[in-house]
C-alpha cells in the first residue's frame, strides 16, 4: 500500500497563473477529501467526494477554485487564477467507510 500520493510536493508560481494539484487516493477508498492548512486558519476542509461524486464543496473559497475526480484513482484541485493569499499547504486524504483518514504528504503552494 503506497498510501495517498500527492504531487507536486512543492509548487511556486506567480500570481495569475493556473495551478493544478494532484492526488491519488489509496486503492479501494471511496471517500476523498481536500484540506488546506495555513497558520492563521489551521486545517480547513475545501471539498470532499464519495464514489467520485462531490458531496460538499462549501469550503471552496472562491470560484477560482475547482476540484474534479474523474475516476476512483485520481483527483485534481485547480486554482485559476492564483493569488498570493492562496499560499498554503494543500492536503489530500482518503478513507473507506468509517476508517480513519489517511493523508498524503501535502503540496506546499507558494504564490508570489
* Positions in the binding site for another protein (CB under 8 A): 31, 33, 42-43, 45, 48, 50, 56, 89, 91, 93, 95, 97-98, 100-101, 103, 105-106, 108
**Residue 66 grid cell:** 475547482
Least separation in angstroms between residue 98's CB and another protein is 6
Q: Are 35 and 91 in contact (CB under 8 A)?
A: yes
CB-nearer residue toward another protein: 45 or 72: 45
Least separation in angstroms between residue 56's CB and another protein is 7
Across the chain, the runs of DSSP E, i.e. the strands, are 5-7, 10-13, 19-24, 31-38, 42-50, 53-56, 65-71, 74-79, 88-95, 102-103, 107-111
Least separation in angstroms between residue 3's CB and another protein is 9
Amino acid at each position: 500500500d503506497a498510501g495517498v500520493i500527492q504531487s507536486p510536493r512543492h509548487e511556486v508560481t506567480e500570481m495569475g497563473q493556473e495551478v493544478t494539484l494532484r492526488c491519488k487516493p489509496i486503492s479501494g477508498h471511496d471517500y476523498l477529501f481536500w484540506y488546506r492548512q495555513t497558520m492563521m486558519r489551521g486545517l480547513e476542509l475545501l471539498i470532499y467526494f464519495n464514489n467520485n461524486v462531490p458531496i460538499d464543496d462549501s469550503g471552496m473559497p472562491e470560484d477560482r477554485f475547482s476540484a474534479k475526480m474523474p475516476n476512483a484513482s485520481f483527483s485534481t484541485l485547480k486554482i485559476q487564477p492564483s493569488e498570493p493569499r492562496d499560499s498554503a499547504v494543500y492536503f489530500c486524504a482518503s478513507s473507506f467507510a468509517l476508517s480513519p483518514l489517511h493523508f498524503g504528504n501535502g503540496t506546499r503552494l507558494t504564490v508570489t
